[in-house]
Amino acid sequence: MTIAIVGAGLGGLALARVLHVNGIDAVVYEREPSRGARGQGGMLDIHSGQRALREAGLIDQFYAIARGEGQDMRLLEPDGTLLLQEDTPDDAPLERPEVDRADLRNLLLDSLPEDVVRWGHAFKCADNGLLYFADGSSATYDLLVGADGANSRVRALLTDARPAHIGQNVVELSISDIDRTHPDLAAMVGRGNYWVLGNGQSLAAQRNGDGRVRIGLNFYNTAEDWFATSGIPFDDPAAARARLIELFAGWDTRFTALIAACDDTIVPRSLTTLPVGLTWPSASSVTLLGDAAHLMPPVGEGANMALLDGALLGLALAAHPDDYPAAVKEYEREMFERTGAAARMSADMQKLLMSPDAGRRMLEFFQPG
């Protein structure tokens, strides 16, 4: 059986690794030319996804790169009121540690034989057991797994569903080497996650393992084309920072100081999701995992679900080595139920974040009763 995985993200690599551990070969086709071709984003809160790393035989290596202090959290309101501060003891269990996405991806890549990932292969289409790539090359497959993210091309082989805007736009910024360049702001943010919620907006700051603090400015209840009318000149970083500070007028000056201190890389993102509870009729030769299957709001579940998808599909294929259609059905049945529940929870969390009193409601979420 020839297993072709499109996409060398966390889910696709977890699948390749679990298959490798179980003596099953697979090929991962990735459109990027190399592992370092682009940045991989910020920190990930890995909780349920730890099961996937155990099945992959990588849990000890994961704990070695995970940041237990990343479990620290501070929750505030726009006027500066501190609602919650949780500082993790150094000997606390790694229940929800943070890890740099790039470090986790490298851990998975390094666990595979060099020839498993084929870089520079941008998937174009598939038909009758043949994959076609943008460079004109092709390859055969018996089972095709779409692990190609939010804008998956493989998804169209199974469903007409497409991601839709969820009324949230995000501006991503960062402060490099914050302990040296802005020690006062570093102390304010702390070692983990720093959230300021309210008034239909939020500021989320997150300490990364490389000494950088990544910041997301979230604008809720905004249209997909909101950036076009926001007045943010993204081609002029200094003017963009000034406009962003204007959009947070009335917030405590400590928060706007974070914006003022940011580097010149300022990235706008419009957030989309797939329909909650998306399913499709099982096909004998194609399936999906990760964001390609269940893109949901970014509230801490997506990476965990992708890792579990990859591991559990790998285990199903190992349990049915001579009947991969049965393995796919078994995997999809469990995946639909598990990720449907996660997507509903994520959608509920998204509604909470979009509420005018999001800070207080989030406090009730973390400290019920």
**Number of C-beta neighbours around residue 146 at 10 A:** 28
pLDDT at 14: 98
| 277 vs 295: CA distance, rounded Å | 10
Burial of 225: CB neighbours in 10 Å, binned 0-12, 13-18, 19+: exposed
6 and 157 in contact (C-beta within 8 Å)?
Answer: no
pLDDT at 365: 77
**Number of C-beta neighbours around residue 300 at 10 A:** 18
| SS3 letters across the chain | CCEEEECCCHHHHHHHHHHHHCCCCCEEEECCCCCCCCCCCCEEECCCCHHHHHHCCCHHHHHHHCEHHHHCEEEECCCCCEEEEECCCCCCCCCCCEEEHHHHHHHHHHCCCCCCEEECCCEEEEECCEEEECCCCEEECCEEEECCCCCCCHHHHCCCCCCEEEEEEEEEEEECCHHHHCHHHHHHHCCCEEEEEECCEEEEEEECCCCCEEEEEEEECCCCCHHHHCCCCCCCHHHHHHHHHHHCCCCCHHHHHHHHCCCCCCEEEEEEECCCCCCCCCCCCEEECCHHHHCCCCCCCHHHHHHHHHHHHHHHHHHCCCCHHHHHHHHHHHHHHHHHHHHHHHHHHHHHHCCCCHHHHHHHHHCCC
- Measured CA distances, 108 to 213, 273, 343 (Å): 24, 26, 25
Burial of 75: CB neighbours in 10 Å, binned 0-12, 13-18, 19+: buried
CA atoms within 13 A on the CB side of 39: 9
pLDDT at 40: 66
| 323 vs 325: CA distance, rounded Å | 6
**Closest by Cα among 295, 345, 364 to 11:** 295
pLDDT at 17: 98
The residue to which tokens 């034989």 are assigned: 113
**Number of C-beta neighbours around residue 195 at 10 A:** 21
9 and 105 in contact (C-beta within 8 Å)?
Answer: yes
Look up residue 52 and give its two tokens: 């996937």
Tell me the whole-structure pTM to 2 decimals: 0.94
176 and 263 in contact (C-beta within 8 Å)?
Answer: yes
| 338 vs 273: CA distance, rounded Å | 17
pLDDT by 10s per residue, the chain, length 369: 899 999 999 999 999 999 999 999 999 999 999 988 777 677 899 999 999 999 999 999 999 999 888 889 999 999 999 999 989 888 888 888 889 999 999 999 999 999 999 999 999 999 989 999 999 999 999 999 999 999 999 999 999 999 999 999 999 999 999 999 999 999 999 999 999 998 889 999 999 888 899 999 999 999 999 999 999 999 999 999 999 999 999 999 999 999 999 999 999 999 999 999 999 999 989 999 999 999 999 888 999 999 999 999 999 999 999 999 999 999 999 999 999 999 999 988 888 888 888 888 888 877 765
Q: What is the largest CA-CA distance in the chain?
A: 64
| 98 vs 80: CA distance, rounded Å | 25
Strands 267-273, 164-175: pairing is antiparallel
